[in-house]
Amino acid sequence: MAAKLRKGDRVVVLTGRDKGRKGEILKVLPKENRVIVQGVNVVRRHTRPTQTSQGGIVEKEASIHVSNVAHMDPSDDRPTRVGFKVLEDGRKVRIARRSGEVIDR
C-alpha cells in the first residue's frame, strides 16, 4: 500500500481526530505502513535544550496509518483509490480510480 502513496502527494484524512483535513505527505514510513502528513496529527513534545535548538515545547506532526488517509483526485479534490496502468510507451503510472486521471507530480 505504501507504493501507492508517495512523498508530495495530497491526501485527505478519513478517520480520527483530524477527519476531513487535507495535507501533503512529508514522509513515508513503508516498514510501519505509516505516513507523516503536513498539519495533521500534531503533537506537543517537551524537548531539552541542545547546542543547536532552544528546547521547550515543540509542536510537530506524528505519523498516521496509511489506511486512515486517501489520495485526493486531481480532477475534483475528492478522496479516491489509487490504481496502476501501463501506458503505450511502456511507463507504469498511478491513476485515480474515481476519474481515471493520471496522478503525476
Report the amino acid identity of residue 90.
Answer: G
Architecture field, domain 2-103 = Roll (2.30)
Task: Tell me the per-residue pLDDT of 59-102, one tens digit each, with 9 for 90 and over.
Answer: 999 999 999 999 999 888 899 999 999 999 999 999 999 888 99
105 half-sphere exposure, CB direction, 13 A CA radius? 8
Q: What pLDDT is attached to residue 104?
A: 77
Residue entry with cell 505504501? 2
β-strand partners of 93: 85
Mean pLDDT over all residues of the chain? 92
- What residue spans define the domains of the chain? 2-103
